[in-house]
């Protein structure tokens, strides 16, 4: 795992872990080298991992920036406290999961810089491999009088659940003999009943103020083929039952989830306690802690909306560089270091809030400023002719690859009579305070000579099509005469004879408002109509050798990454990751 330069700031989760470590709260745990029940672990050695956390996505979609927060948090805590973080696929729902998502998710967690190899073992797990244990645990709960088969219809169950202000009513099946529930449960498992005919419910308290404790369903019938277990099962555990058991068999110590699960915590503890009483699990049991999920301005993170954006073709797929998915962010040129810095910077809190998108962009700028080599690109090319420079001559100028890192050396930038400059670097009639090219003014060609503008050529519509100038031969950068003439402007350029014309995509935010869909607006109405602009830019010749995913700073413009035209192979293009400065700040 990567070494982080930043010292992690303290937060409530770190405080809890430090307290637990100081008290030896989890020191007595044994770990058998693989997940299992109490007996399995008891036969193993003391757990070498001081803590165990987990990242438990459902493999039913692509990871987004919110998941990155959870990944950095869980893997980061395990790294910092001499523990291990399990990569667990929560694939207990038979209908939704796909291998494509499993691969996509593991790739992105690796990309973020985290892994699950530790003590010579992989800690990649699938919750569906615990179905046997979950089933056995359910039988135990029935036998111990903690669960029963309810044959009420879904409507009846809903009607008797009560409300926030009214208690629920006991099911007529609640006190049936355990043996009867057990027999029915086995019939469910054996495929004797159709979907929805009955469910297994925990027997807790229909009058509890917490609705989640009013005899929640823990197993249901579902005649469906599972991607991992095939047709072996036609009963599947409910998420709220499965999740604590998954944590427990994996010896997880700190089970960190988002705030919406807070009301589930009493059930989490209840079910684990009951199974520990029965000897199926051992103390100390995992503990659940909740933190605020990431809400980011200018972004939607709900899976439903992301699917809509793709299906209604507002974007070109899940990995469109404007998507808040991690595959999209990667193609956009966002860096894993930037995400880790972001996670560290925003920290974790116990109350929901909004994080400004600029914070994420600043983290990307900071990491890219460190790592990206500088290059020259002219995005809106206008011809500049140096009239006193010989027609067939060219010469080398030298540009540093990184202004703060001389060890990265310099590269050759050829100069010749005709150059490309930015259209906005010339003004026939300069506005006040304009220091760039206008007739009679002198500027420096970055890494080259001082030039003096002599005029321009226009087409029949009055549009400037070329600018003319003369150069001052003794003023080349890096020579003794360089400072003999002082100028205020310094413009970038590429030699027309040496430049390469390449497609560049100028990406911007996908949504134009900070809270897409806030109030009663449709979030789609907040889409930014100018979230991408495709141009042909003139690039310095060194960029001809750029490799896919290589990132550069285009001087004065921002950070760009090499992508390919169709996102996979084919002609290279450059995607703008982020501008040098925030253009959205009001």
User: Considering 189, 222, 293, 556, which one is annotated as catalytic?
Assistant: 293
The answer to whether residues 258 and 291 touch, using CB atoms and an 8 Å cutoff, is yes
Measured from the CB of residue 21, what is the shortest distance to ligand ATP in angstroms? 23
User: Considering 14, 169, 186, 303, which one is annotated as catalytic?
Assistant: 303
Cα–Cα distance between 140 and 128 in angstroms, integer?
Answer: 19
Build a one-symbol-per-residue string for 335-374: x at contacts with ligand ATP by CB under 6 A, - elsewhere: ----------------------------------------
- Rule CB under 6 A: is residue 66 a binding residue for ligand ATP? yes
Measured from the CB of residue 585, what is the shortest distance to ligand ATP in angstroms? 24
- Rule CB under 6 A: is residue 258 a binding residue for ligand ATP? yes
- Rule CB under 6 A: is residue 259 a binding residue for ligand ATP? no
Region binding ligand ATP by CB under 6 A among candidate stretches 28-36, 58-66, 181-189, 356-364: 58-66
Candidate list 294, 341, 499, 562; residue touching ligand ATP; CB under 6 A: 294
Q: Is 33 left (phi over 0), alpha (psi -120 to 50) or beta?
A: left
Picking from 425, 386, 100, 130, the residue whose alpha carbon sits closest to that of residue 252 is: 130
Candidate list 58, 205, 356, 550; residue touching ligand ATP; CB under 6 A: 58
- Rule CB under 6 A: is residue 243 a binding residue for ligand ATP? no
Measured from the CB of residue 357, what is the shortest distance to ligand ATP in angstroms? 14
Residues contacting 76, CB < 8 A, separation 6+: 4, 8, 340, 343, 344
- Rule CB under 6 A: is residue 305 a binding residue for ligand ATP? no
Radius of gyration for the chain, computed over Cα atoms and rounded to the nearest angstrom: 31
Phi then psi for residue 360, to 5 deg, are -65, -45
Region binding ligand ATP by CB under 6 A among candidate stretches 54-62, 228-236, 463-471, 519-527: 54-62
Q: Which residue's CB is nearer to ligand ATP, number 67 or number 442?
A: 67
Measured from the CB of residue 165, what is the shortest distance to ligand ATP in angstroms? 28
- Rule CB under 6 A: is residue 303 a binding residue for ligand ATP? yes
- Rule CB under 6 A: is residue 11 a binding residue for ligand ATP? no
- Rule CB under 6 A: is residue 286 a binding residue for ligand ATP? no
Picking from 20, 69, 64, 65, the residue whose alpha carbon sits closest to that of residue 257 is: 69
Cα–Cα distance between 582 and 584 in angstroms, integer?
Answer: 5
Specify whether 58 is catalytic. yes
Reduce the secondary structure of 208-256 to three states and give it as a string: CCCHHHCCCEEEEECCCCECCCECCCCEEECHHHHHHHHHHHCCCCEEE
Cα–Cα distance between 552 and 543 in angstroms, integer?
Answer: 9
Q: Is 333 left (phi over 0), alpha (psi -120 to 50) or beta?
A: left
- Rule CB under 6 A: is residue 257 a binding residue for ligand ATP? yes
Measured from the CB of residue 180, what is the shortest distance to ligand ATP in angstroms? 35
Specify whether 19 is catalytic. no
Phi then psi for residue 104, to 5 deg, are -60, -40
Cα–Cα distance between 213 and 157 in angstroms, integer?
Answer: 14
Measured from the CB of residue 581, what is the shortest distance to ligand ATP in angstroms? 27
- Rule CB under 6 A: is residue 506 a binding residue for ligand ATP? no
> Of all residues in this chain, which one has the CB nearest to ligand ATP in the complex?
66
Residues contacting 266, CB < 8 A, separation 6+: 210, 212, 213
Q: Which residue's CB is nearer to ligand ATP, number 181 or number 255?
A: 255
Cα–Cα distance between 455 and 343 in angstroms, integer?
Answer: 52
Cα–Cα distance between 98 and 19 in angstroms, integer?
Answer: 40
- Rule CB under 6 A: is residue 69 a binding residue for ligand ATP? yes
Measured from the CB of residue 70, what is the shortest distance to ligand ATP in angstroms? 4
For 41, the token pair is: 């672990």
The answer to whether residues 423 and 381 touch, using CB atoms and an 8 Å cutoff, is yes
**Beta-strand relationship, 493-495 and 418-422:** antiparallel
Measured from the CB of residue 105, what is the shortest distance to ligand ATP in angstroms? 8
Cα–Cα distance between 1 and 5 in angstroms, integer?
Answer: 13
User: Considering 4, 58, 262, 373, which one is annotated as catalytic?
Assistant: 58
Cα–Cα distance between 584 and 235 in angstroms, integer?
Answer: 52
Q: Which residue's CB is nearer to ligand ATP, number 255 or number 495?
A: 255
Cα–Cα distance between 517 and 514 in angstroms, integer?
Answer: 9
DSSP 426: B
Region binding ligand ATP by CB under 6 A among candidate stretches 55-63, 365-373, 422-430, 495-503: 55-63
Candidate list 301, 412, 472, 487; residue touching ligand ATP; CB under 6 A: 301
Cα–Cα distance between 357 and 514 in angstroms, integer?
Answer: 8
Region binding ligand ATP by CB under 6 A among candidate stretches 33-41, 60-68, 127-135, 448-456: 60-68
Measured from the CB of residue 346, what is the shortest distance to ligand ATP in angstroms? 10
The answer to whether residues 125 and 87 touch, using CB atoms and an 8 Å cutoff, is yes
Candidate list 17, 20, 52, 57; residue touching ligand ATP; CB under 6 A: 57
Cα–Cα distance between 400 and 481 in angstroms, integer?
Answer: 20
Candidate list 36, 37, 38, 70; residue touching ligand ATP; CB under 6 A: 70
Measured from the CB of residue 509, what is the shortest distance to ligand ATP in angstroms? 18
Specify whether 293 is catalytic. yes
Cα–Cα distance between 349 and 335 in angstroms, integer?
Answer: 24
Q: Where are the beta strands (DSSP E) in 329-417?
A: 354-355, 373-375, 377-378, 381-386, 394-400, 410-416
Q: Which residue's CB is nearer to ligand ATP, number 189 or number 303?
A: 303
- Rule CB under 6 A: is residue 56 a binding residue for ligand ATP? yes
Region binding ligand ATP by CB under 6 A among candidate stretches 18-26, 57-65, 154-162, 527-535: 57-65
Q: Per CB under 6 A, which of residues 526..545 are in contact with ligand ATP?
A: none
Candidate list 118, 169, 293, 305; residue touching ligand ATP; CB under 6 A: 293
Q: Beta-carbon neighbour count of residue 121 at 10 Å?
A: 11
Q: How many residues bind ligand ATP (CB under 6 A)?
A: 14
Measured from the CB of residue 141, what is the shortest distance to ligand ATP in angstroms? 25
Positions in the binding site for ligand ATP (CB under 6 A): 56-58, 60, 66-67, 69-70, 257-258, 293-294, 301, 303
Which residues are tagged catalytic? 58, 293, 303
């Amino acid at each position: 795992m990567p070494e982080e330069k930043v010292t992690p700031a303290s937060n409530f989760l770190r405080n809890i872990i430090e307290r637990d470590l100081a008290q030896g709260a989890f020191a007595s745990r044994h770990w058998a080298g693989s997940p299992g029940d109490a007996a399995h672990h008891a036969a193993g050695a003391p757990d070498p991992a001081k803590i165990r956390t987990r990242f438990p996505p459902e493999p039913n979609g692509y990871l987004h920036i919110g998941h990155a927060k959870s990944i950095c948090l869980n893997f980061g805590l395990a790294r910092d406290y001499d523990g291990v973080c399990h990569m667990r696929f929560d694939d207990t729902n038979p209908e939704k999961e796909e291998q494509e998502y499993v691969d996509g998710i593991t790739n992105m967690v690796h990309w973020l810089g985290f892994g699950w190899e530790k003590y010579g073992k992989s800690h990649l797990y699938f919750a569906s491999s615990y179905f046997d244990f979950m089933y056995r645990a359910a039988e135990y709960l029935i036998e111990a009088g903690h669960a029963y088969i309810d044959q009420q219809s879904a409507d009846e169950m809903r009607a008797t659940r009560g409300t926030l202000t009214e208690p629920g009513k006991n099911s007529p099946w609640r006190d049936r003999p355990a043996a009867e529930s057990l027999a029915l449960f086995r019939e469910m498992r054996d495929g004797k009943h159709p979907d929805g005919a009955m469910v297994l419910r925990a027997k807790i308290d229909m009058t509890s103020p917490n609705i989640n404790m009013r005899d929640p369903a823990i197993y249901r019938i579902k005649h469906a083929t599972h991607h991992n277990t095939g047709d072996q099962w036609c009963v599947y555990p409910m998420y709220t039952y499965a999740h604590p058991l998954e944590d427990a068999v994996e010896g997880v110590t700190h089970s960190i989830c988002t705030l919406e699960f807070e009301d589930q915590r009493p059930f989490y503890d209840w079910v684990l306690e009951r199974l520990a009483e029965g000897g199926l699990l051992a103390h100390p049991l995992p503990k659940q802690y909740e933190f605020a999920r990431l809400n980011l301005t200018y972004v939607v993170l709900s899976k439903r909306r992301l699917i809509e954006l793709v299906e209604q073709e507002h974007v070109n797929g899940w990995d469109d560089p404007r998507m808040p998915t991690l595959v999209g962010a990667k193609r956009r040129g966002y860096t894993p270091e930037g995400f880790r810095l972001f996670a560290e910077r925003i920290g974790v809190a116990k109350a929901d809030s909004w994080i400004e998108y600029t914070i994420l962009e600043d983290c990307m700028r900071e990491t890219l400023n460190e790592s990206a080599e500088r290059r020259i690109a002219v995005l809106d090319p206008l011809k500049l002719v140096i009239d006193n420079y010989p027609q067939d001559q060219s010469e080398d100028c030298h540009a540093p690859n990184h202004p703060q890192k001389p060890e990265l050396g310099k590269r050759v930038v050829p100069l010749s009579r005709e150059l490309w400059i930015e259209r906005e670097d010339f003004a026939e009639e300069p506005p006040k305070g304009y220091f760039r090219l206008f007739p009679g003014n002198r500027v420096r060609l970055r890494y080259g000579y001082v030039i003096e503008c002599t005029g321009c050529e226009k087409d029949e519509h009055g549009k400037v099509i070329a600018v003319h100038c003369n150069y001052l031969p003794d003023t080349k950068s890096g020579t003794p005469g360089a400072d003999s003439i002082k100028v205020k402007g310094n413009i970038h350029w590429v030699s027309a004879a040496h430049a390469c014309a390449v497609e560049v995509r100028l990406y911007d935010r996908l949504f134009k408002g900070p809270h897409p869909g806030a109030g009663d607006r449709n979030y789609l109405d907040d889409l930014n109509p100018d979230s991408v602009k495709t141009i042909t830019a003139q690039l310095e010749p060194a960029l001809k050798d750029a490799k896919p995913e290589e990132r550069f700073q285009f001087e004065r413009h921002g950070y760009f990454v090499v992508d390919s035209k169709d996102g996979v192979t084919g002609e290279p293009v450059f995607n703008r990751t982020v501008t040098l400065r925030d253009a959205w700040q009001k």
